[in-house]
A and B are shown apart, each in its own frame.
Chain A
Amino acid sequence: EDQVTQSPEALRLQEGESSSLNCSYTVSGLRGLFWYRQDPGKGPEFLFTLYSAGEEKEKERLKATLTKKESFLHITAPKPEDSATYLCAVQGTGRRALTFGSGTRLQVQP
C-alpha cells in the first residue's frame, strides 16, 4: 500500500526566512510525485511533478527535489502570499490513483 507522510504539519516563518517541507513516501515503483498548493476554501493547484531520484524543479521561490524515499519543497525568502497548505502525492506504477499526504500548513508572517 502506498503511503505519504508530510512534515511538519504546520510551519510558521518570518518573511524572508527560508525553510523546507518534507514528503516521505513508500510506493511499489514510483510513477510520479506531485506537489500541490491549496489556499483556504479552494481546490489544490498543481505545482510540480517529479519522476526520478535526483530530479529538481523550480518555480519562483519554490524548488522541489526528489530522492528514492522523500521529496523536499524548499522555499527561499518566502513572502506572505506563499502562505497556504502544501500537499504531496505519489502515483505508483500500474496504479491510476494518487495517494495524498495530509499536507503542511505554511504561514509566512510579514
Chain B
Amino acid sequence: NAGVTQTPKFQVLKTGQSMTLQCAQDMNHEYMSWYRQDPGMGLRLIHYSVGAGITDQGEVPNGYNVSRSTTEDFPLRLLSAAPSQTSVYFCASSYSRDQETQYFGPGTRLLVL
C-alpha cells in the first residue's frame, strides 16, 4: 500500500491563479480530509468527506473547494489564490466515519506571491 499520496510536493503561485492539490489513498478509507498547517497555529480542518459524493466544510473553508467522485481521490481546489493561503497542506484519511487513526500524506508546501 502506498498509503496517502499528495501531489505536488511544492508549488509557487501568483495571486489570483488557480490550482488543484491532489490527494489519493489506496486503503479503501471512507473518511478523507484536508488540513492546513501554519506556524504556531496547529493543523486546521479545511474540508472533509465521509464518502464518495459527500463533502462538508471544516473550520477554515473559505477560498477552497472540494469534490469526492471516487473513494480514492479527494482533490482540493484553490479558485483564486491569495497570499494568506501560503501554508503546508495535508490530506488525511481514516477507515471509518468515527475518524480514528487518521493517516496523513506527506504534505504540499504552497507559496502564493
Report yes or no: B106 in contact with A42, Cβ–Cβ below 8 A.
yes
Report yes or no: B101 in contact with A98, Cβ–Cβ below 8 A.
no
Report yes or no: B107 in contact with A98, Cβ–Cβ below 8 A.
no
Report yes or no: A102 in contact with B101, Cβ–Cβ below 8 A.
no
Q: A42-B107, A43-B106, A43-B107 are in contact. Are A96 and B43 (CB under 8 A)?
A: no
Distance to closest chain A CB from B111 (angstroms): 15
Distance to closest chain A CB from B44 (angstroms): 8
Report yes or no: B101 in contact with A44, Cβ–Cβ below 8 A.
no
Contact indicator per residue, chain A 49-88, by CB within 8 Å of chain B (1) or not (0): 1000000000000000000000000000000000000010
Cα–Cα, bound, A41→B37 (Å): 11
Q: Contacting A97 at CB < 8 Å: which of B4, B59, B97?
A: B59
Q: Which residue of B lies closest to A97 (CB)?
A: B45
Distance to closest chain A CB from B62 (angstroms): 16
Give chain B's interface residue range (CB within 8 Å of chain A): 20 to 34
Q: Contacting A87 at CB < 8 Å: which of B42, B50, B58, B97?
A: B42
Report yes or no: B41 in contact with A102, Cβ–Cβ below 8 A.
yes
Report yes or no: A97 in contact with B105, Cβ–Cβ below 8 A.
no
Report yes or no: B101 in contact with A96, Cβ–Cβ below 8 A.
no
Report yes or no: B48 in contact with A100, Cβ–Cβ below 8 A.
no
Distance to closest chain A CB from B19 (angstroms): 20
Report yes or no: B58 in contact with A46, Cβ–Cβ below 8 A.
no
* A-B pairs with lowest CB-CB distance, top 8: A43-B104, A100-B42, A100-B43, A102-B42, A97-B45, A44-B104, A43-B106, A43-B90
Interface residues of B (CB under 8 A from A): 4, 31, 40-45, 48, 50, 56, 58-59, 90, 92, 97-107
List 20 other contacts, CB 8 Å, given A43-B4, A43-B104. Answer: A4-B42, A36-B104, A41-B107, A43-B90, A43-B105, A43-B107, A44-B104, A46-B102, A49-B101, A91-B99, A96-B31, A96-B48, A96-B97, A98-B43, A100-B42, A100-B43, A101-B42, A102-B40, A102-B42, A103-B42
